[in-house]
Chains A and B, each alone.
Chain A
Amino acid sequence: MAKTIIKTVDLRKTYMQGKIPVEALRSVNLEVEEGEFLSILGPSGSGKSTLLNLIGALDKPTGGRLFIENIDVSTLNDNQLADLRMKIGFVFQFFNLIPRFTAKENVELPMAIAGLSKGVRGKRAEELLEMVGLASRMNHKPTELSGGEQQRVAIARALANNPRFLLMDEPTGNIDSKNAFEIMQLVKKLNEEKGVTIIMVTHDQRLAAEARRTVHMLDGMIVSETVN
């Protein structure tokens, strides 16, 4: 039995849209084990991104509990949250690379933030870019790369600090289907060969089916679960 690294208990998130409260998450209970590949499937507005942002410590819940490796995240201050985020790999739909940096510099950035020396992080960035198949494009800037290539850079960057798990919010949402397929192959390989824990948000049934387990969301709640 693998150990649980993420656990949510009655997790809630309410946004205030002016004076009207919007319940984006209404009592979410979820457990994720180490080494899992989980997909979160649901229609637009069902609260998938909200849940992922909470798990990624980018946002704070309005109610309930979130445990990451048995630590109650709601008790952490800004500094501790930042330290936690350093150990979480985030991959966004819109890549979110720094445009003025090359692929290699983008991958180096989280390691620079972590305080690694130039030599160490340069070497590791090269290894990571090689692994995602971008050995020949390391010194290109994001604008000189295709969407698929940019997302590979983003994945390499997310892996830089040896994260506990990888959170992906519609990683192929902005990529054509051929490249999307390749990205999915890469993600599966990471999970199967490197044992990286992955949580992927999507509203695409077929993509969700690539994961071993899928939770279905609707109106801020997990309504069902399937094992593929």
Chain B
Amino acid sequence: MRIIDMFSYAFSAIRLRKLRAGLTTLGVVIGIAAIVALLSITQGLQTAISSQLQRGFATDTLIVSAGGGLGGGNEFNLLVKDAQTIRELENVTASIAVIQRICYVKSSGLTRRVTVIGVDFVAYRDIYSSTFVAEDGEIPLNPEEDAVIVGKQVSDPWNNGTLFCTTGDTLEIIWTNTTARPLRNETYTGRVVAVLREVGGFTVGGPSDSRVYIPISKAQSFFGTETCELIIVKLKSDDKAMIDSTAKAIREALGSGVTVTSSTAVLNIISNVFSTIELFLAGIAAISLLVAGIGIMNIMIVSVMERTREIGILKALGMKNRQVLLIFLCEAAIIGFLGTLIGIGAGWSLAQIVVRIFGSSSGAGGLRQAGQAVVSNGTTITPVLTPTVILGAIVFGLAVTMLFALYPAWIAAKLKPVEALRYE
């Protein structure tokens, strides 16, 4: 029997039970749609985040922090002057200390809670030359002690042109000194010299839209500290061997209390986390496809029983066992293929709808807590449907339907002609 005739025979059988075939197909549609929607959203999220990360990260930098990992700290204190020690190491072109405190800033009667960063403006701009850029005003080469640079979101928090503060404004900075007894609010008045261009996305150590920057010397005196939270180290290049050897040198110079993190390592960790999440979600979605597969098996067993006599006729007319098997597999293939195609379309539409509903602003917000130094801003997610996902869905959808159809088809193939013909 020709393949085309097998398919047309299978198709005629499907057409006979439209509702049943439709419902069976629906199972496949739902399973595939779930997989495609989840994969295209997570991949979209991943693309969005990694593109933001690429922007916010300088791959030739190392982040030095105290204790166990990013932002953590125990007994060991990282000192501002450690930056000097690091600067003298081989392959290091710049090394700057970052002091970081939660403060309140007050401008024209309004108060906002922000993270204030004490940093050497010029060195910082050299490292993050594409993101630490003034949109308004100018980053001073020799900043006054009261100079303040604000992120875009601090200046324009409502994103509608109603500014909280802008270049030339004075900004009262209030910090609660928790080591003083009784607690005391320290206050000084700064002057906004520049508003940063919008950065967006995440960063480790790099500039962010929601922060306020003051000179490192002012931070030291105002917060009354010699310690810093991070030291950002810029290397000659992002060569892997150089990153590793310098990281080792830093650990040797400062002792085992420091953690040296390379930006690429952070990128890798984040992308690993995403792969895991993606796999997990796809796994859950795959279960729904398995359920659909069981549905197919169930329906097909019923169908084989109903059509026992028909199978007997086919065999009496000379059809071989293998051909009977193939006819039933063809039926499953038609349902599987149709269901998969519709499922891909449905999943893609679902992804678009989900992204619209949950919107751009909150999309990546869940990662806000991912690390003290990792910051998220509005990240727009566009679902991504790669050819790999499409092909994978087709292969997987077909494979599952065929696999579950195999047993019923085998039952059909094994029927004895006389017995099948006698079946009422």
B9: nearest residue on chain A (CB-CB)?
A: A112
Contact A113 B316 (CB under 8 A): no
Contact B2 A78 (CB under 8 A): no
Q: When each residue 100-119 of chain A gets 1 if its CB lies under 8 Å from chain B and 0 otherwise, what string results?
A: 11000000011011110110
Cα distance A59–B315 in the bound complex, in angstroms? 11
Q: Within the complex, what minimum Cβ distance (angstroms) separates B109 from chain A?
A: 81
A113-B1, A161-B318 as given contacts; A58 in contact with B417, CB under 8 Å: yes
Chain A: number of interface residues, binned into ranges:
20 to 34
Q: Within the complex, what minimum Cβ distance (angstroms) separates B187 from chain A?
A: 88
Q: When each residue 143-160 of chain A gets 1 if its CB lies under 8 Å from chain B and 0 otherwise, what string results?
A: 000000000000001000
Contact B5 A112 (CB under 8 A): yes
Q: How many residues of B contact A (CB 8 A)?
A: 26
Contact A110 B318 (CB under 8 A): yes
Contact B418 A59 (CB under 8 A): yes
Cα distance A117–B2 in the bound complex, in angstroms? 8
Q: Within the complex, what minimum Cβ distance (angstroms) separates A130 from chain B?
A: 21
Most B CB atoms within 10 A — which of A82, A83, A115, A118? A82
Contact A85 B418 (CB under 8 A): no
Q: When each residue 71-97 of chain A gets 1 if its CB lies under 8 Å from chain B and 0 otherwise, what string results?
A: 000000011001111110010100010
Contact B320 A58 (CB under 8 A): no
Contact B309 A113 (CB under 8 A): no
Q: Which residues of B contact A84 (CB under 8 A)?
A: 318
Q: Does B361 contact A (CB under 8 A)?
A: no
Q: Which residues of B contact A113 (CB under 8 A)?
A: 1, 314, 317-319, 323
Cα distance A59–B316 in the bound complex, in angstroms? 10
Q: Does A47 contact B (CB under 8 A)?
A: no
Give which listed residue, B15, B313, B315, B418, contacts A98 with CB less than 8 A. Answer: B313
Contact B2 A82 (CB under 8 A): no
Q: Within the complex, what minimum Cβ distance (angstroms) separates B5 from chain A?
A: 5
Most A CB atoms within 10 A — which of B15, B317, B318? B317
Q: Which residues of B contact A90 (CB under 8 A)?
A: 316-317
Give which listed residue, B310, B318, B416, B418, contacts A82 with CB less than 8 A. Answer: B318
Q: Does B134 contact A (CB under 8 A)?
A: no
Q: Which residues of B contact A83 (CB under 8 A)?
A: 318, 320
Q: Within the complex, what minimum Cβ distance (angstroms) separates A151 from chain B?
A: 15
Q: Does B301 contact A (CB under 8 A)?
A: no
Cα distance A157–B318 in the bound complex, in angstroms? 12
Q: Which residues of B contact A101 (CB under 8 A)?
A: 12
Give which listed residue, B12, B313, B319, contacts A96 with CB less than 8 A. Answer: B313
A118: nearest residue on chain B (CB-CB)?
A: B5
Q: Does B95 contact A (CB under 8 A)?
A: no
Cα distance A113–B312 in the bound complex, in angstroms? 14
Contact A82 B313 (CB under 8 A): no
Contact A114 B318 (CB under 8 A): yes
Contact A58 B418 (CB under 8 A): yes
Q: Which residues of A contact B318 (CB under 8 A)?
A: 82-87, 110, 113-114, 161
CB within 8 Å of A: which of B1-59?
1-2, 5, 9, 12-13, 15-16
Q: Which residues of A contact B12 (CB under 8 A)?
A: 100-101
Q: Does A53 contact B (CB under 8 A)?
A: yes
Cα distance A90–B418 in the bound complex, in angstroms? 12
Give which listed residue, B9, B13, B320, B417, contacts A59 with CB less than 8 A. Answer: B417
Contact A115 B1 (CB under 8 A): yes
Give which listed residue, B2, B416, B417, contacts A115 with CB less than 8 A. Answer: B2
Q: Which residues of A contact B421 (CB under 8 A)?
A: 58, 92, 96
A59-B418, A112-B1 as given contacts; A78 in contact with B314, CB under 8 Å: no
Cα distance A58–B319 in the bound complex, in angstroms? 12
A-B complex: 10 closest residue pairs judged by Cβ atoms: A86-B318, A82-B320, A110-B317, A58-B417, A59-B418, A85-B318, A112-B5, A58-B418, A113-B319, A96-B313
CB pairs A–B below 8 angstroms (27 shown)? A56-B316, A58-B315, A58-B418, A58-B421, A59-B417, A59-B418, A78-B321, A79-B321, A79-B322, A82-B315, A84-B318, A85-B315, A85-B317, A90-B316, A90-B317, A96-B312, A100-B13, A100-B16, A101-B12, A110-B318, A112-B5, A112-B9, A113-B314, A113-B318, A113-B323, A114-B1, A115-B2
